[in-house]
Structure formats: C-alpha cells, structure tokens
Structure 1
Amino acid sequence: MVMLRGFLVLTAFFVIGEALRVMLALPISGGVLGMILLTLLLMVRGSISDSLANASQALISVLVLLIMPGVVGVFFQADQFASEWLAIALALLAGTFLSVLTTLWVMQRAVAGRPKAGTGE
C-alpha cells in the first residue's frame, strides 16, 4: 500500500505536467514538466515521504526498461537522422559534459557541509 501511494503521487505529477503542457502549448514533455514540479515541491518541503522514496527506488531499478522504447525508436529512424549526425554528436557530447559538471557541482555542495571522517566532529 505504501508503494502504491508513491506511484499515485508520481502519476499525479505526470498528469499535472501533461495538462500544463497541453494548456500552455509548451514544447516540453509532460513527464519532464511534472518531475520539475515535483522537485520544486520536495525542495520546498525539505523531505521526501517513505512511499515516494520506495516507489522511486523501484522505478530506478528498471530505468533501462523505461528508456528502451526511445532508444529503439531512434534505431529504426536512423536514416532520417543521417544528415544531422554532426548536430546530434555535438548535442550528445555537450549534454554529457554538462551532466558531469552538474553532478560534480551538486556533490561538492552536498559534501561541503559534512564533517570529514575521522576528525571527531
């Protein structure tokens, strides 16, 4: 029951994001918009419920299955992207680089406030 409540929260934010996307004609996925809203809510609250944490952990374990349809779709449409290989390669490289930098920045901020191991603090 706890995990079901977490999935309900995730689904509700997906639906809210999709509704906003349609109403405002935004060029962004409803799922991404919903997750941005959920992230903002969690930042304001400062904590995450056990049900949402459990549901999210269950989804992370099958993340590859959630990504697979998009990868397969790109594979079957590869001939349409053939003339755009340079732009796609640059976007992938820039996206990967920015992801690594963002992860590094977040980790540095998260670790900066923690006492060092073995200092007795």
Structure 2
Amino acid sequence: MPALTGFLWLTGLWLGGEVIIHFTALPISSGVIGMLLLCALLIQRQRVPTSIAAAAQPLIGLLAMLIMPGVVGVFFIADELAGQWLAIFGALVLGTAASVVTTLWLLKRLTPTDQRTP
C-alpha cells in the first residue's frame, strides 16, 4: 500500500506541474515542474517519505523503458535532423559534461564530511 500512496504523490506533483504550466504558460515540461515540486517537498521534509521511495524504486528499474519512446521517435524525424548533426553532437557532449559536473558537485556538497573517503 505504501507504493500506491507514493505513486499518488508523484502523480499529484506531476498534475500540479500541469496546472502551473496551464496558468503560467511557461515553456517547461510539466514533468520538470513536478520534479521541482517534489524537490521542494523533500527539502521541506528533510527526508524521503517511505511511500515515495516505495513508488520510485520500481520506476528506476523501468527508466530505460520510459526513455525509449523518445529515442525511437528520433528515427521518424531523422530526415529533418540530417543537417544538424554537428549541433546535436555538441549539445549531447556539452549536456553530458554539464550533467556529470553538476552531479559530482552536488554529491560533494551534499555528502556529509564524515562519509567521504580520503
């Protein structure tokens, strides 16, 4: 039952993102807004509720399958992207580098000092 409660929380936050997008017309995905709302909730509570953890754990295992439709969709617009390979390659390299650097910086910043290895 905790997984169902957590899934309802995640769905509610996503729907909250949909509402924010609808009323503000922000050019951002409702999923991103929902994740920001989730982040704010977790910061406010200063812990991950067991229900949200129970719902998120199976979704992490399915992450590749959740990303797959977007990757497959690229094949249908490959003709439109044919002249943009350099920009796409640059965006992938810079985006990956920025993601890795940001993740490492956050890990270093948020990991307690006594848990760090020398």
Give TM-score, length-normalised by structure 2: 0.91
d(CA) in 1 for partners of 2:34 and 2:115? Answer: 35
d(CA) in 1 for partners of 2:110 and 2:16? Answer: 30
Alpha-carbon distance, 1:110 to partner: 3.3
- Name the residue aligned to 1:82: 82
**Aligned Cα RMSD in Å?**
1.5
Alpha-carbon distance, 1:99 to partner: 0.7
d(CA) in 2 for partners of 1:115 and 1:62? Answer: 30
- Name the residue aligned to 1:22: 22
| Seq. identity, % | 50
d(CA) in 1 for partners of 2:65 and 2:116? Answer: 38
Report how many aligned residue pairs link the two structures: 117
- Can you give the 5+ residue segments of structure 1 that lack an aligned partner in the other structure? none
Stretches (4+) displaced over 6 A: none
Report the more deviating stretch, 94-103 or 104-113: 104-113
Larger radius of gyration: 1
Report the more deviating stretch, 99-108 or 2-11: 99-108
d(CA) in 2 for partners of 1:34 and 1:68? Answer: 21
Q: Equivalences for 1:1-121 in 2 at 5 Å?
A: 1-115=1-115
Give TM-score, length-normalised by structure 1: 0.89
